Amino acid sequence: MCRVVTGFQFILVAIAFLALGVSVGLFVSTMRMRRKRTVDPKKSAAEESSMGMSNTTEKTLSSSKEPEKVEKVIIEDEFNSPVLQIEPYTGDYVGRWEKVELPQKVLSKLSAAFSSMPLLLFSVPLSSPRVYLVRFSQPFDHLMRSNGVYKAVALRPDGTITGLPNVLSPGFYRFLGSAATVWAILAVITRQKYLHDIEQRLKKIEEGVADIKEFLEKERDTGIQGNLLYLKQVYEALKNGDLSEYDINSFNSQLESIERQCQQAVLHYQIDMENCFKKLEEFEIGAWIGKGLKKQGEEFRKVLNSFFHYSKYLLLVFQERLVTIYLKTFLPVGKSILRVRINDLKESLRFLERTRKIEEFIEQSLDRIEEFWALFTSEKTENQIKRSLRQDVRRNLRELEEMRERLYESLANFEERLNQLEAEKQVNLVVFMDQDHKQIKEVRMIPAGGSA
């Protein structure tokens, strides 16, 4: 019994020693792990520091690499139609091309667009002036269909495409996305001659309206005067390049309305002119003989004055309609539509050939008119009336001829303008930036047919 107990106790003691050994082993292992954890972070930090320096060096080396060269950038709309192309200009530009004077607003928009480009966008030395060749592709009708989504295609010097996701800033995209801005710039740059011509036509219309002001007031027709004021506003906006998308849409709509009013006025006054023709023809065949002399004289004078007033009014309306169509060439309107409108106007002008024949009849009949006038005037005033009548008639005939010449001259200029638009495939500008690439110093235009 005693041996059993002693053996059992021995077993317990052995188990206790084993447990103690395990505990000591675990303790030692734990302490070693703690010691290892205490030492390793320093080594790790050194290693990480070493790796960080290596990465930084790699990044520095990477960032110091010369950026990929881009020879030109082509801007396309959502239909893949080119809107404009920009490339460095290396030609001989000293005094070569005509300098273009841009309004400040347009110049500011261009400066903001070009200053947003990276300085290393093109393969030109940093120390050289920033001179760009900008090509506006024609026609621009597709701009009105675009939703303002434009993309840049960058080309390497060898002509292959390279991807530069941030070539153009958001400001430049907004600039390109505005059809109004593009049209305003082109209106100012490429059409100075025609804008000046329009300005002269508007002045002549204004003078003509003033000449028949009493007649217009009597007729209570203020349409031609109101339309004239609006046409002057459109001209000023185009000249200053101060156009928004809303302005373009508004101008297009209002110019359409003015043109319809002009067409209606022509039809209305052609009827009145026909009555004048009839009266004058009756005078020619002597149909008035037998009426009271005073009544005949008053009626004849009234018919003659009406003829001159109606003729001047019609010429002014024709001129106003022509200027209206003329102004549309500065807005995004299809060239085929403008061609149809101008052909319709030319057809309407055939009516002027009949008025010219009546004028010839009046001039040839001056002696007979004076004799007719003498029938109801006293001898005391006969010579004075004859002289005054002859001067008045010839003055009116001369004014009508001058107005007609101006109208046909305007028509010729318009057709020249329209032919230019139809033949014009590209508008080329040379843009000079300052050394800081902040502001445009000047812009020059390469004329149609000129090589860059």
- Spell out the per-residue pLDDT of the chain, length 452, in tens: 444 445 555 555 555 555 555 555 655 565 555 554 444 444 444 444 444 444 444 444 344 445 556 677 777 766 677 777 788 787 776 566 777 777 777 777 777 767 665 444 444 444 445 788 888 765 555 554 445 556 667 777 777 776 544 444 555 555 555 555 555 566 566 566 678 888 888 999 999 888 888 777 766 566 888 899 999 999 888 877 666 778 888 888 899 999 999 988 888 888 888 888 887 777 665 555 555 555 666 677 788 888 888 889 999 999 999 999 988 887 777 778 888 888 888 888 888 888 888 888 787 777 666 666 665 555 545 555 556 667 788 888 888 999 999 899 888 888 887 887 777 666 788 888 887 777 888 888 776 555 65
Q: Distance (Å, rounded) from C-alpha 329 to C-alpha 257? A: 16
User: How far is the CA of 42 from the CAs of 35, 36, 45, 115, 389, in angstroms?
Assistant: 12, 11, 5, 50, 117
Task: Kindly report each contact of residues 251-256 with a partner whose C-beta sits within 8 Å and lies 24 or more positions away, as own/partner.
Answer: 251/327, 251/331, 252/328, 252/331, 252/332, 252/333, 254/230, 255/324, 255/327, 255/328, 255/331
Q: Could you give the dihedral angle defined by the CA atoms of residues 234, 239, 244 and 249, in that order, rounded to the nearest 10 degrees?
A: 30
What is the pLDDT, as a whole number, of residue 63? Answer: 43
SS3 330: coil
For the chain, how many helices (H) and strands (E)? 13, 8
- pLDDT of 170: 54
Position 325, amino acid: I
In angstroms, rounded to a whole number, what is the distance separating the alpha carbons of residues 239 and 193? 11
Q: What pLDDT, on the 0 to 100 scale, is given for residue 53?
A: 40
Residue 115 in tokens: 């200053």
3-state SS, residue 99: strand
Helix (H, G, I), strand (E, B), or coil: what is residue 292? coil
pTM, two decimals, is 0.62
pLDDT of the residue at 1? 43
Distance in angstroms (rounded) separating the CA atoms of residues 114 and 84: 13
Q: Count the Cβ atoms, other than its own, within 10 Å of residue 242.
A: 15
